Structure 1
Amino acid sequence: MLTDHPDDLRALEAAVALLEAPSLTIRLANMVGTPVEWALDRLPGSSAQKIQKAIHAALKKAVSGALLTMDEKTAGGARPRTHTAMVAASGAMGGFFGLTGTLVELPVTTTLIMRSVADIARAEGFALSDPIVQAECVQVFALGGRSPDDDAADSAYYATRVGLSEIAKETGKALVEAATGHATRHAAQGLFQGMQLTPSQTASWLAQIIETVAQRFGVKVTEKFALQAAPVLGAVSGAAINAMFISHYQNMARGHFTVRRLERAYGEREVRDAYATIQARLN
């Protein structure tokens, strides 16, 4: 049982603290000292559409340029500081050139964040060649932490994860049905164990996940861009905002893949029950 292993229990406690922390929106507003709504009101009307379109392209580039090219055999722990420094530099350039600059730096920032997320997954023992793990790396971009409107008794993390799991399950089932002509037990469960997906099938699977995640990620990116493009902010603030941005998703990845690692060892039900107990204690 999980309760018989103090180290794993402490790891879960740390994961709960990360995943149920205040949302990125709250953290950004507190850091800048400016309400996000104020910055959004000053964003040009056409900007949101441009940002959303850019997000889809950025996530696709991040998957092909980072997630699918990482060496999963690399030994050692994750290297979040390296990725944070690179993202901060990218944010400084974006902040210096305003909204146009932030649109240009979005694919770079997203790819670096994806690479850091995948690096954390690898360090937790997950195989990056597994399509399920690849999908979960993308899904980290939909994890946003807790907002003031959330019910304190419920887990913001599990609420988001359940919704994404259902979408991934249906997408995986449809993909396998199209590929094989029938649904297998594994496909019905949203799993691909024992199956060899072609690169095009894996790409189709991830493309559907990206469509869902892009909507949630887009809200956070739009808020970040609004603050970054505000006239009172410059290159230094752009770097600071980007550093907080990647820090948030690194925390979400660290918490998520810790939970998933423990679920592999103890079962999802036991870990989820322990998660709820820890969350209630923290509240």
Structure 2
Amino acid sequence: MSEIILARPVLDPETEIARLARRYASAGGLGIQVLNTLGTGADGLLDRLPAPVRGQLDSAARVALTQALRAASGSRQVVPDQAQWLNSVVSTAMGATGGFGGLPTALAELPVTTTLLLRVIEGVAVEHGFDPSAESVRFDCVQVFSAAGPLEHDDGADLAFLSARVALTGSAMQAIIARVAPRLAIVMGQKLAAQAVPVLGAVAGAATNYAYTSYYTDVAHVHFGLRRLAVETDQPHEAMVARLKAEVLALK
């Protein structure tokens, strides 16, 4: 099955790259605002987690990604993609529930939130005309999780997630999960640490989940917007990434 499923109006490359650059540059702003509201920063956030939890983050991220892929693909048969505002509402409620009981419930909520975020990313792929059942598009959906994360101060240079490609082989999905999981472990570890804030766990969980949903929605639009632009202009994807990176850095 082709990964392209929807014809779209052809975009002006310069205008679209500028728009995507602005969206990427602003993607993490909400997460930083959340940390400021909680009176904390991303630096040292992971150190607040108990050592046993920190040691299990990589394996937890792998399990969460594997479960999310299975659940997200299956749910597409029965639950249609939702509007961004509804995704944010559901994610916020899940975060509040996860944070209410502190670290134990936040850990239990992690794979559920990962599944929701993957569905959000798949929905963005569909918006840009890609078929989320195509293997290469599924790879790209997972690859979005290797972005910096909403709780990091990103100077615009961390755009490697846009460039990384995996050969389409039988073991490719496990390979990409293995590569993405360490980054996702850091990102989700920061989320867990924020949710574990004493007394404010439910509020922090709701706020961080809202920020995460907004962030990965924006990053997915950048990722698939750039892929679509490369297809429409018949230019190498790497060239599009380079132009986007230059535009993002120029905004700084």
- The correspondence for 1:57, drawn from 40, 56, 63, is 63
Matched residue, 1:47 = 53
Change (3 A) 1:93 1:49: same
Matches within 5 A, 1:113-192: 113-144=117-148, 150=155, 155-157=157-159, 159-162=160-163, 164-165=164-165, 168-169=166-167, 172=168, 175=169
Structure 1 residue 81 corresponds to structure 2 residue 85: yes
Matched residue, 2:4 = none
Whole-angstrom CA distance in 2 between matches of 1:221 and 1:54: 10
Structure number having the greater helix percentage: 1
Select between 272-281 and 210-219 the one with higher mean Cα deviation.
Answer: 272-281
Gaps of 5+ in 1: 176-200
Structure 1 residue 19 corresponds to structure 2 residue 21: no
Whole-angstrom CA distance in 1 between matches of 2:116 and 2:229: 26
Gaps of 5+ in 2: 1-9
Structure 1 residue 102 corresponds to structure 2 residue 102: no
- Preserved contact between residue 149 and residue 187 of structure 2 (Cα < 8 Å): no
TM norm structure 2: 0.82
Whole-angstrom CA distance in 1 between matches of 2:209 and 2:232: 35
Matched residue, 1:211 = 178
Following TM superposition, by how much is the alpha carbon of 1:111 offset from its aligned partner in structure 2, in angstroms? Answer: 0.5
Following TM superposition, by how much is the alpha carbon of 1:61 offset from its aligned partner in structure 2, in angstroms? Answer: 1.0
Higher-Rg structure is 1
Select between 235-244 and 40-49 the one with higher mean Cα deviation.
Answer: 40-49
RMSD: 2.7
Change (3 A) 1:271 1:78: farther
Structure 1 residue 278 corresponds to structure 2 residue 252: no
**Identical amino acids, percent of aligned pairs:** 32
Whole-angstrom CA distance in 2 between matches of 1:237 and 1:280: 31
Change (3 A) 1:88 1:280: closer
- Preserved contact between residue 62 and residue 181 of structure 2 (Cα < 8 Å): yes
Select between 5-14 and 255-264 the one with higher mean Cα deviation.
Answer: 5-14
Q: How many residues are paired up?
A: 237
Change (3 A) 1:27 1:49: farther
TM norm structure 1: 0.74
